[in-house]
A and B are shown apart, each in its own frame.
Chain A
Amino acid sequence: MSQTFHIPGQPITAYVQRIEIKKLREGSNLILGFSIGGGIDQDPGQNPFSEDKTDKGIYVTRVTPGGPAEDAGLIMGDKIMQVNGWDMTMVTHDQARKKLTKKSEDVVRLLVTRKSLEDAVRKSM
């Protein structure tokens, strides 16, 4: 079930992949190695990765090569659905950033989805 043309208020059904990223310590910062875009306070029409241009979710816009995110299997264009259990489909950009960069956590467990996942599942059925 894809997330295109999602009706607000209805539950979302999606095929997700679990990705676990261990944060890398660089100086005094813990970095994950990717960049995010999107959020309910941003303009969804400018998102190059979303199929539904009204989708205000959090998307991965860039993955630094050789970083922990790339090692864990995160791909540019992924939509992040959950971070450590926290929902990422209806958050502001800043809230998403805060949930990802908590200093007390060394590991983030993401649930991400992408179009190719759905295709793969359908093909295998």
Chain B
Amino acid sequence: MGAEKTEIRPSSASPPTSKIDSLRSKVELLKLPLALSSKTLTERKTQLGGARRGTGGGGAHKPRPPAPDMDNESQYSGYSYKSSHSRSSRKHRDRRDRHRSKSRDSSSRGDKSVTIQAPGEPLLDTESTRGDDRDDNWGETTTVVTGTSEHSVSNEDLTRASKELEDSSPLECRRFAGPVLSGVLGLFALLTPLAFLLLPQLLWRDGLEPCGTPCEGLYVSLAFKLLVLLISSWALFLRPPRATLPRFFVFRCLLMALVFLFVASYWLFYGVRVLEPRERDYRGIVGYAVSLVDALLFIQYLALVLLEVRQLQPAFCLKVVRTTDGASRFYNVGHLSIQRAAVWVLDQYYSDFPVYNPALLNLPKSILSKKMSGFKVYSLGEENSTNNSTGQSRAMIAAAARRRDNSHNEYYYEEAEMERRIRKRKARLVVAVEEAFTHIKRLQDDETAASSPKHPREVMDPREAAQAIFAPMARAMQKYLRTTRQQPYHSMESIISHLQFCITHNMTPKAFLERYLTPGPTMQYQRENSRGRQWTLVSEEPVTSALRQGLVFSLRRLDFALVVTVTPLPFLHLGEEFIDPKSHKFVMRLQSETSV
């Protein structure tokens, strides 16, 4: 690890600043943030302890002490987060952090523990995903007593654990049942003609009529047809299955039944008419085998048309809307059943839709909370209170509607403020990254490392180079990710490996940043070894029925759903108009006459 530490770590004799800093240091000690700093407990204690005691202070804008945390970036190489702390203790810390943040901000931010992709180690402590983020550091100074301790398991943990278990369930055997069955059937069908040929030879070779050239011709054609069948089966059918469907895939079942029927009837005929009476006409038997291969080729043609070709011509337009944030897309599909269309839509979903970020969903609580508060309804001595409650609520709603409501104003200014903040952070991030990238350059082949003995330059591999230049941009990156609520998706490890990737491929800072400036499609945040995603297809019609106009079905996941509406593509009346190229002529405009 060759990067130098350039900043001087402020010693513990730094002057006490305010209560915020002192409390913050205590809280930092307690919560052991999961990312940037890799210091051990004792180191941290010696650094922060002792100097800062104080009282008072309000929520001033105080930047978090940058230097101590950032210093350690340069020493991070080789340190694996998982190695220092045991997995269970990290999980406890995760749980405790999440509890604390959840109880502090009681608005439902969506269940953070349930995301489509389980995040890696988050870049920051998870408390930073709360809604009111006016002062970055304000909330960290308050300590909260939660109902659970480090060692208890709350309900949320149970649900979270069960969801994690769901996502990482062991490989289901059901996934492979269908393909295995059809594979066996296909193999059996392929070997049947060979069996037809070989059985007479093995059983009653002497009794067969000799069959010269015509048989050999048939052998050749049989061999080539089998070869074609084999290759096309491999190309079309031997692919790993992409999805398990809730009901049988009708066409595939049809084809398998057809193949089975064919082969069974051929065997039946063969058994009764050839094996029993020990048929002597070998040429006829060979011709029979060839006809079976022809039939199999035609079945394969049928399979190609039914499974692959029929849905290519677009016939319907599907509108897919995500229920949580309204992201929508339109897709054109052909004639499919509902379940196949659902699989197709999900394929497109993973690469088209921006990733679902539960932290971005809610209006700030300050705006919404003022709606129905402040009204008390007194009943003036009426004894019949049968419909009193509805009358009360109706009165409250009417009163609230009549009251002058300025929440739209607040929403507008809040949005503008948020946007301004994001832009400011983004500017800082871009500048920091640009500067960071100027610190390294690629070593050309003709330059030797010992070019100038006065300034020996250490040669680094991409990983070390990435770690070296990560330090100056880390803070700006952290702040930007926190402002855009993206920090669950990007751990420090992932940022460094992305940086390493960009350096290796000679990318510019802008190319490095594109991953963080726009929320990418869900595929970008997938784990590599996922066991599969669990989606539920909710539909009023049986899912094997074909798409038609006005059909609505939804694909539900644990915390959001995609609602799909089907409309047919309009029929096009295409007319023709021929224009002679010589007919393009122009004149000046006619004299116009105006009366005054």
* Residues of A that sit less than 8 Å from B by CB: 31-32, 34-38, 41-43, 45-47, 61-62, 64, 93, 97, 100-101
Number of chain B interface residues as a range: 10 to 19
CB-based contact B591/A46 at 8 Å: yes
- Distance in angstroms from A74 CB to nearest chain B CB is 11
User: Residue-by-residue, is B557-596 near A (CB-CB < 8 Å gives 1, otherwise 0)?
Assistant: 0000000000000000000000000000001111111111
Nearest B-chain residue to A23, judged by Cβ: B596
CB-based contact B594/A35 at 8 Å: yes
CB-based contact A41/B591 at 8 Å: no
Of residues 273 to 329 in B, which have CB atoms within 8 Å of A's CB atoms? none
Contact of B593 among A35, A64, A100 (CB under 8 A): A35
Bound-state CA distance A34–B594 (Å) is: 9
Residues of chain B within 8 A (CB-CB) of A46 are 590-591
Contact of A43 among B590, B593, B594 (CB under 8 A): B590
Residues of chain A within 8 A (CB-CB) of B589 are 41-43
Bound-state CA distance A3–B256 (Å) is: 96
- Distance in angstroms from A63 CB to nearest chain B CB is 10
Nearest B-chain residue to A30, judged by Cβ: B596
CB-based contact B591/A31 at 8 Å: no
- Distance in angstroms from B376 CB to nearest chain A CB is 62
Residues of chain A within 8 A (CB-CB) of B595 are 31, 34-36, 62, 64
Bound-state CA distance A61–B591 (Å) is: 10
CB-based contact B596/A47 at 8 Å: no
Residues of chain B within 8 A (CB-CB) of A93 are 592, 594
Residues of chain B within 8 A (CB-CB) of A35 are 593-596
**Secondary structure call for the B interface:** loop
Nearest A-chain residue to B592, judged by Cβ: A93
**A31, A34, A43, A47, most chain B CB atoms within 10 A:** A43
Of residues 164 to 185 in B, which have CB atoms within 8 Å of A's CB atoms? none
Nearest B-chain residue to A96, judged by Cβ: B594
**B588, B589, B596, most chain A CB atoms within 10 A:** B596
CB-based contact B591/A36 at 8 Å: no
Residues of chain A within 8 A (CB-CB) of B591 are 37-38, 42-43, 46-47
Bound-state CA distance A97–B592 (Å) is: 11
The 7 sampled A-B contact pairs (Cβ below 8 Å) are A35-B593, A37-B592, A37-B594, A43-B589, A43-B590, A47-B591, A97-B596
* Residues of B that sit less than 8 Å from A by CB: 587-596
Residues of chain A within 8 A (CB-CB) of B588 are 42-43, 45
- Distance in angstroms from B588 CB to nearest chain A CB is 4
Residues of chain B within 8 A (CB-CB) of A38 are 591
CB-based contact B590/A61 at 8 Å: no
Bound-state CA distance A43–B588 (Å) is: 6
- Distance in angstroms from A93 CB to nearest chain B CB is 6
Residues of chain A within 8 A (CB-CB) of B587 are 43
CB-based contact B596/A61 at 8 Å: no
Bound-state CA distance A19–B581 (Å) is: 52
Bound-state CA distance A46–B588 (Å) is: 10
Residues of chain B within 8 A (CB-CB) of A43 are 587-591
Residues of chain A within 8 A (CB-CB) of B596 are 31-32, 34-36, 97, 100-101
- Distance in angstroms from A112 CB to nearest chain B CB is 14
CB-CB nearest 9 A-B residue pairs: A43-B588, A35-B595, A100-B596, A46-B591, A37-B593, A32-B596, A97-B594, A37-B591, A35-B593
- Distance in angstroms from A41 CB to nearest chain B CB is 7
Nearest B-chain residue to A67, judged by Cβ: B595
Bound-state CA distance A43–B590 (Å) is: 6
- Distance in angstroms from B271 CB to nearest chain A CB is 95
7 more A-B residue pairs beyond the given contacts A42-B592, A61-B593, with a C-beta to C-beta distance below 8 A: A35-B594, A35-B596, A37-B592, A45-B588, A46-B590, A46-B591, A64-B595
Bound-state CA distance A74–B588 (Å) is: 29
Residues of chain B within 8 A (CB-CB) of A62 are 593, 595
Bound-state CA distance A32–B594 (Å) is: 12
Nearest B-chain residue to A34, judged by Cβ: B596
- Distance in angstroms from B109 CB to nearest chain A CB is 63
Bound-state CA distance A100–B590 (Å) is: 21
Nearest B-chain residue to A69, judged by Cβ: B596
Residues of chain A within 8 A (CB-CB) of B593 are 35-37, 61-62
- Distance in angstroms from B321 CB to nearest chain A CB is 51
Bound-state CA distance A97–B593 (Å) is: 10
Bound-state CA distance A34–B590 (Å) is: 19
- Distance in angstroms from A68 CB to nearest chain B CB is 11
Bound-state CA distance A114–B589 (Å) is: 25
Residues of chain B within 8 A (CB-CB) of A32 are 596
- Distance in angstroms from B552 CB to nearest chain A CB is 56
Bound-state CA distance A93–B595 (Å) is: 11
Residues of chain B within 8 A (CB-CB) of A37 are 591-594
Residues of chain B within 8 A (CB-CB) of A45 are 588
Residues of chain B within 8 A (CB-CB) of A97 are 594, 596
- Distance in angstroms from A48 CB to nearest chain B CB is 9
- Distance in angstroms from B87 CB to nearest chain A CB is 83
Residues of chain B within 8 A (CB-CB) of A42 are 588-592
- Distance in angstroms from A100 CB to nearest chain B CB is 4
Residues of chain B within 8 A (CB-CB) of A41 are 589
Bound-state CA distance A82–B587 (Å) is: 29
- Distance in angstroms from A65 CB to nearest chain B CB is 13
Bound-state CA distance A54–B594 (Å) is: 20
- Distance in angstroms from B587 CB to nearest chain A CB is 7
Nearest B-chain residue to A61, judged by Cβ: B593
